Amino acid sequence: MTNTQVTLAQIDNYGPWTVTPNPRKEVDLQTLQSRLYADLSQLVGMHGGYVFFTRFDNMVAITNGLDLEDHARIQESIGNRYPVTLSFGIGTSTSPRDALVDATALLQEAGSAQDAERAEVLAGQTTEPTPAEDDDVHLAHFDVNDATGEYTDELDAYSTFIHIEQAYASLMRYLHDAHDGLAFFVGGDNVIAVVPDLERAAYEDAIRHVREDVDMDLKVGVGSGVTAQDAGMAAKHALEICREDGTHVEGL
Amino acid sequence: MTNTQVTLAQIDNYGPWTVTPNPRKEVDLQTLQSRLYADLSQLVGMHGGYVFFTRFDNMVAITNGLDLEDHARIQESIGNRYPVTLSFGIGTSTSPRDALVDATALLQEAGSAQDAERAEVLAGQTTEPTPAEDDDVHLAHFDVNDATGEYTDELDAYSTFIHIEQAYASLMRYLHDAHDGLAFFVGGDNVIAVVPDLERAAYEDAIRHVREDVDMDLKVGVGSGVTAQDAGMAAKHALEICREDGTHVEGL
Amino acid sequence: MTNTQVTLAQIDNYGPWTVTPNPRKEVDLQTLQSRLYADLSQLVGMHGGYVFFTRFDNMVAITNGLDLEDHARIQESIGNRYPVTLSFGIGTSTSPRDALVDATALLQEAGSAQDAERAEVLAGQTTEPTPAEDDDVHLAHFDVNDATGEYTDELDAYSTFIHIEQAYASLMRYLHDAHDGLAFFVGGDNVIAVVPDLERAAYEDAIRHVREDVDMDLKVGVGSGVTAQDAGMAAKHALEICREDGTHVEGL
Amino acid sequence: MTNTQVTLAQIDNYGPWTVTPNPRKEVDLQTLQSRLYADLSQLVGMHGGYVFFTRFDNMVAITNGLDLEDHARIQESIGNRYPVTLSFGIGTSTSPRDALVDATALLQEAGSAQDAERAEVLAGQTTEPTPAEDDDVHLAHFDVNDATGEYTDELDAYSTFIHIEQAYASLMRYLHDAHDGLAFFVGGDNVIAVVPDLERAAYEDAIRHVREDVDMDLKVGVGSGVTAQDAGMAAKHALEICREDGTHVEGL
């Protein structure tokens, strides 16, 4: 049964920091944010987890396989190497959406994202002592059919970007509202969604929704596993089957 | 007069590389992409330019102040340190939109984004020998009014993310279609747009459009300069005035 | 009983790569090397291990706590993100010196460091299935007494550097030849040595040797643990006691 | 005429920071130091300069081509992205040794390396307004003859390391005391020295000194230029001629 562990990682008091005492150079903020994300990806990834950059000051991670001590060590490592600190809220649920709702509530109870006193909160419980199961995490890896041939090599880069962005926006709202899933753009024309245990019909419906909404054709590979990495790699292989066979949903 | 120099940076043959010989671990791809972006930001930023992560495999940069040799040295530096290479197409125009259209066309003429033979293309011309002017680059820095109080501290993290994303999607399409501007999400609740020389009414119209379209309140600081960094820092200071005075458009 | 697991990490065919087809820019090589070292430190460190930069193209790691699969995943992660690959030879022994001799021999048997065909070798066995013990790893953390007051704030930077370097050179040879230890400069005025289970007299002797050899006064904190990190943190705390109490050897 | 501009970069109050409030994890310190060095290399390198890691908390840079404003922007960029700050002392001289003596004195006058109040000092003058000349910077790039065949593939890794280290220690003291040069290990079996305008006899003498002192055979390529990068690339090409022709000194 799905048992997704979701961690909300929030940079403490980041907004005020970026303009104190004066606005900091944008190039430095961009570098700071993207490297902090890369480091968090590696640290969480060593335990099999995934991190999505989301808004960069608020990142969402799938952390099945990481206990509280692992979270604390990651906070310490970031705190030792960056001028900012991270707070973590952790939620678990059969619904990824509910898990993130719980994770967010824990951080909000601890204080505002712009509270200068709130730092390195670690709130919530991990899936332990429930034993890990092969279907704890379900990931769906979507991409756009022939994105290079239809868009990248044909339209100007911004028009392609608008198309990709529209498909993503349509998909993220649909999966969230209709199926309790959390979808994230991960670069190129790729979206990875953490989802409950959905039927094939749900994926076909999601793809149809995006086609009707914004006229973009998606395909999806689905995978399950003990960790995000296991599920994600299974989803990637399923997506490769879509590519080879010209199908739209594989892995179920 | 506006004379924006836009560079399209495209990772060569990236899609096929990510699945050769088998799909590579997502955590490594995320780390690679975000660090490549961070490095490109620093390298371009040393000359006063801005890079936007866009789709990560296709990044858009404002490169006034960088000549062809600067571009070539950046390609060399990335090529020496990453397992992938970058191609650059460069366009200049009074319209940022047109500049990117030209930059894209140059790369498309050189070959497909998934052409294994196309590598480290450097195509296009920079603004030289036209002398740099104080109004070559116009940047508009938007954010959401009281994003922390209205969204981050109130809604769950994904619902906040959907709201921010909708405002951004609405703004990016409006600025592009109505005003030849290119808007990019830069983290948190911030969007930076490279624009032509627009009147105050255009910004008020854009903010009204987003409010009517998705019920989100934006404000904007506008700045001009010889480089993106000069224009961007002026825009940030103008945005601080909005915050202090409760206004919606400053810097014009 | 001491059971040190030492991994020799060697960049494959690095020398030829740095001059193919022409010498690559030194700034890029320096960046590549130091970031590769930083990444390896984090990846090994997530499992409790330590990496020493040594010659950068040949790095020595204390890897108790990492099995062969962990090593393979680290190779894969580096291979996915860098233009070069790493080979690993692993040795275990009650003598750190012998462990590294064995680790080196395994790589040499697999091919030359400049063999274009040899890539991502993973050779040797880890300590498993022997159960981990609290005294598997012994680390000694040395520094120079009042280095800032005696050297950094008094002499020019290069003369200080020569003094520090001489103390380190004297210590590294002594510990290796007399006590089977491997000492590494880790920055500032600090040297960390992985050692067998030594008596207090051995440390006093080493400190006396350096004083007589190059007229520099050292102190040392010693610690033991299941992993390098456990032993290293105990050694740091012992060194703090030296600082507070004005003693020369603590932690035994 | 030689006119070397040397910058001493010192992390402010680093020693106390590493143990406040308790000793920080060594893996994080190693990562912080090596990434800070990599970033400084890139930032200085964009202007043609070289940085040597030296002791990591004290780094030496050849900064011909960078003015005071460039130095200030680099300090700002590091300060925006790291939990520590950098102070810079700048000296210029026909003698690299004297330039670093002057650079060090300026920082020492501003306060101790462990003064909690001293931060982001920028002291000294650059070579301006003296016009840059083709022979402002002289670099000598040394390596060990057949290091792979004689050492890396033959001895255990630590014994090789001791040999390389001894050659380097012998060379650094000789060049400093006899010829006012500053030599730095840069990884592998490579040493780069910034030197005055020396005759061929001086290099032959240095190589003979190392051979007699520690029985290691070196060769050297020498280059000059307006910046460290120009001089360094010329030196690398000269060293390649040594490799091809079996000679010991090239580039003069």
Q: Name the residue of chain D whose CA is nearest to A17's CA.
A: D80
Confidence of residue C67 (pLDDT cuts 50, 70, 90): very high
Residue C183 confidence (pLDDT) above 90: yes
Q: Are B43 and D46 a contacting pair at CB < 8 A?
A: yes
B117 CA: distance to closest CA in chain C (Å): 18
Which one, of A53, A18, A58, lies nearest residue A37 by Cα? A53
Q: For chain B, which residues make up each domain, given as ranges?
A: 4-124, 137-250
Q: Name the residue of chain A whose CA is nearest to B188's CA.
A: A55
DSSP states of B22-85 as a string?
SPPPHHHHHHHHHHHHHHHHHHHHTTT-EEE-TTSSEEEEE-TT--HHHHHHHHHHHHHHSSS-
D232 CA: distance to closest CA in chain A (Å): 29
B51 contacts in A (CB within 8 Å)?
27, 30
Higher pLDDT, D131 or B207: B207
At the topology level, CATH places domain A137-250 in Alpha-Beta Plaits (3.30.70)
C77 contacts in A (CB within 8 Å)?
42
Q: Is D22 helix (H, G, I), strand (E, B) or coil?
A: coil
The whole-chain average pLDDT of chain A stands at: 96
Tens-digit pLDDT profile for residues C152-168: 999 999 999 999 999 99
Nearest to A81 among D76, D77, D83 (CB): D83
Q: Would you give per-residue pLDDT tens digits along chain B (252 residues)?
A: 889 999 999 999 999 999 999 999 999 999 999 999 999 999 999 999 999 999 999 999 999 999 999 999 999 999 999 999 999 999 999 999 999 999 999 999 999 999 999 999 999 999 987 889 999 999 999 999 999 999 999 999 999 999 999 999 999 999 999 999 999 999 999 999 999 999 999 999 999 999 999 999 999 999 999 999 999 999 999 999 999 999 999 999
Chains A & B: contacts with CB separation below 8 Å? 194
Across residues A71-94, what is the average pLDDT?
Answer: 97
Residues 6+ apart with CB under 8 A from D30: C37, C38, C41, C51, C53, C186, C187
Residue A121 confidence (pLDDT) above 90: yes
* Cα dist from A108 to A12, B146, C44, whole Å: 12, 16, 34
Residues facing residue D48 across a β-bridge: none
Q: Are C233 and D34 a contacting pair at CB < 8 A?
A: no
Q: Are B166 and A162 a contacting pair at CB < 8 A?
A: no
B120, B124, B128, B134: CA torsion to nearest 10 = -100
Give the model's pLDDT for residue D176.
97
Q: Largest Cα–Cα distance of chain D, in whole Å?
A: 57
C25 contacts in D (CB within 8 Å)?
45, 229, 233
Q: Which CATH superfamily is domain B4-124 in?
A: Nucleotide cyclase, GGDEF domain (3.30.70.1230)
B30 contacts in A (CB within 8 Å)?
37-38, 41, 51, 53, 186-187
The answer to whether ipTM exceeds 0.90 is yes
Supply C164's token pair: 């520090």
* Cα dist from A55 to A30, A48, A59, A146, B181, whole Å: 12, 22, 6, 28, 22
Judged by phi (left if over 0) then psi (alpha if -120 to 50, else beta), residue B187 lies in left
Give the model's pLDDT for residue B50.
98
B97 contacts in A (CB within 8 Å)?
158
Give the model's pLDDT for residue A157.
96
* Cα dist from A154 to A148, B121, B142, whole Å: 8, 18, 30
Distance CA C108, CA C138 (A): 27
Residue A128 confidence (pLDDT) above 90: no
Residue A201 burial (C-beta neighbours within 10 Å; 0-12, 13-18, 19+)? exposed
CB of D183 within 8 A of CB of D168? yes
Confidence of residue C129 (pLDDT cuts 50, 70, 90): confident
Q: Are A39 and C43 a contacting pair at CB < 8 A?
A: no
Give the model's pLDDT for residue B130.
86
Q: Are A35 and B31 a contacting pair at CB < 8 A?
A: no
Distance CA B157, CA A52 (A): 12
Q: Are C77 and B24 a contacting pair at CB < 8 A?
A: no
Strand A86-93 with A122-124, pairing: parallel
Nearest to A28 among D29, D35, D80 (CB): D80
B201 CA: distance to closest CA in chain D (Å): 35
Residue A72 confidence (pLDDT) above 90: yes
DSSP states of chain C as a string?
---EEEEEEEETTHHHHHTSSSPPPHHHHHHHHHHHHHHHHHHHHTTT-EEE-TTSSEEEEE-TT--HHHHHHHHHHHHHHSSS-EEEEEEEESSHHHHHHHHHHHHHHH--TT-TT--S-EEE--STTSPP-TTSEEEEEEEETTHIIIIITTS-HHHHHHHHHHHHHHHHHHHHHHH--EEEEEETTEEEEEE-S--HHHHHHHHHHHHHHH---EEEEEEEESSHHHHHHHHHHHHHHHHHHT-SEE--
Q: Which amino acid is at A195?
A: V
Tens-digit pLDDT profile for residues D6-45: 999 999 999 999 999 999 999 999 999 999 999 999 999 9
Which one, of D128, D163, D120, D125, lies nearest residue D143 by Cα? D163
Distance CA C59, CA C78 (A): 14
Domains B4-124 and B137-250 share a fold: yes
